[in-house]
Amino acid sequence: MKANFILFFGIITLMFGVQSCGAQNSSIVAEGAELLLVADGYNFTEGPAANRKGDVFFTDQPNDKILKYDVETDSVSVFMEGAGRANGLYFDNDGNLIACADEEYQLIRISSNKNVEVLVDNFEGENLNGPNDLWIAEDGGIYLTDPYYQRPYWDRSSPDLESQNVYYLAPGSNSLTMLANDLVQPNGIIGTPDGKTLYIADIKDKKTYSYTIAEDGGLSNKTLFVEMGSDGMTLDNQGNLYITGDGVTVFNKNGEQIKHIPVNENWTANVTFGGKDGQTLFITAMDALYSLKMDVKGVRW
C-alpha cells in the first residue's frame, strides 16, 4: 500500500511538474507584464529599430521626424528633423541608421552625428516606388521592400515602375538587384540571424512568405508561411515571427499562432525588440509608441 501511494504520488508530482513547465513556456510575455504607453501625440509612428545599447529609434513620417527613446533616461526626444520622410529603419553593423526615405524614393544612411548619405535612389534608372521597410543581414547585405503608396508630398501621381518589388543591395554595391516582382504589395520584411531565411509580407494580398537565402543573397523556395499580411515584422530568439496590423500576432516556426497581443489603436504599424536586455517589445501604433516586457529576447541579443 505504501509503495502504491509513493508511486501514485510520484506520478502526480511528475504530472504537476510537466504542467508547471508548460505553464511557464505557454506565454512569451513576462509574467504580470502589461502594455505600457511610452509616448504619444505624434501623427503616425513607424519603423522602430534598436541600437546595441537598446535605445529605440522610430519615425513620425507625416511630420518628417525620427524620434529616439533613450533607455537610460526613459524618455523620448527628437533625433532628427527633415529625415527624408523616413519610414522603415534598421541599424547596420557600424551603428549607422539605415532609413527608407520615400520623399525622394531613397535608401539613406544616417551616421551617429547625423550625416546623411544616399545609398540608392533608383532601379535601372527608374525612380523607386517608395522604399518602405528593410532588413540587414550579418554580412551587411540589405533587403528592401518597395511598395507604392501615393504620398501627398509627391509631384507624381503614378509609379515609374510596373511592379512593386523586393530588392537586394549587396555589401559595397550602389545598385539594386531585383529579388521578387510577383507580390501585390510587399511591405514588412525580416530575416533570421543565421542569414538563411527571409520573411516577406504581402500586405495587400494578406499573405506572408518565407524564402531561402542563397550565399549570393538571392532568394529561392518561396513558401506561404501564414495567410496574413503585415505592415512591419520582427523575430525573437526562439524563432517566433511577430506580425502587425490588428495588434501584434505571433507565430512559431511552423506558422502556428501562439499569441495575440491586443493594442487599443486602429492600426499597429511595426514592432521591434529593445531595452537594456533586448527583452522589451516596442510597438508603433497610430500616434504612439508602446512597450511590453517579454520572456523572450530580440535576435540581436
**Is there a contact between 47 and 65 (Cβ–Cβ < 8 Å)?**
no
- How far apart are the C-alpha atoms of 28 and 30, rounded to whole Å? 7
In sign, the C-alpha dihedral spanning 156, 49, 55, 27 is positive
Distance (Å, whole) CA 284 – CA 288: 6
What are the sequence ranges of the domains in the chain? 34-293
Selected from 3.40.50.1100, 3.40.50.150, 2.30.110.10, 2.120.10.30, the CATH number assigned to the domain covering 34-293 reads 2.120.10.30
What integer pLDDT is reported at residue 153 of this predicted model?
Answer: 95
3-state secondary structure the chain: CHHHHHHHHHHHHHHHHHHHHHHHHCCCECCCCCCEEEECCCCCEEEEEECCCCCEEEEEHHHCEEEEEECCCCEEEEEEECCCCEEEEEECCCCCEEEEECCCCEEEEECCCCCEEEEECEECCEECCCCCEEEECCCCCEEEEECCCCCCCCCCCCCCCCCCEEEEECCCCCCCEEEECCCCCEEEEEECCCCCEEEEEECCCCEEEEEEECCCCCEEEEEEEECCCCCCEEEECCCCEEEEECEEEEECCCCCEEEEECCCCCCCCEEEEECCCCCEEEEEECCEEEEEEECCCECCC
CA–CA dist 236, 259 (Å, integer): 13
pLDDT at 219: 98
pLDDT of 300 reads 77
Return averaged pLDDT per consecutive 10 residues of the chain, 301 residues in all: 39 36 59 97 98 97 97 97 97 97 98 96 98 97 98 96 98 97 98 97 98 97 98 98 98 97 98 97 98 95 65
Query: pTM of this prediction?
Result: 0.91
Q: How far apart are CA 301 and CA 201, in angstroms?
A: 24
Q: What residues are paired with 197 via a beta bridge?
A: 212
